[in-house]
Amino acid sequence: MPALARTLSDISNAQGGMERIKNTLLPRQYATYPILLTHAFCLLMPLGLIGTLGLWTPLGSTVAGFMFLAMLQMGNDLQNPFENREDDVPMTAITRTIEIDLRCFG
């Protein structure tokens, strides 16, 4: 029985940690500044690449800008890992597995 109590205690501690992560708000600047700076960088990048890429500047800056915008979107998606979207932590599946395992104990 001590092993079961220890496991339940670990699960409870993990749940508490996840709830703290979910309820912790990020300052608004963490969402605003990356958007502004990424867009400014993407707008100014062709000016820096024109000397190197010449006529290929539109293609090169488009590809590089897309990569920066993709990283920005990934950061936005990671801000809320427990929102039950397709790319979030699968909390429903995890809790269902725990429920099935606990029902096996009777």
Domain ranges in the chain?
A: 29-105
For residue range 6-64, what is the model confidence (pLDDT) as tens digits? 988 898 888 888 888 878 877 888 889 999 999 999 999 999 999 999 999 999 999 99
Per-residue CA distances from 72 to 18, 21, 78, 80, 86 (Å): 24, 21, 10, 14, 18
- Residue 26 contacts residue 79 (beta carbons within 8 Å): yes
How do residues 70-102 score in pLDDT, each as one tens digit? 999 988 888 877 777 877 778 788 888 888 988
Beta-carbon neighbour count of residue 61 at 10 Å? Answer: 20
Global pTM? 0.64
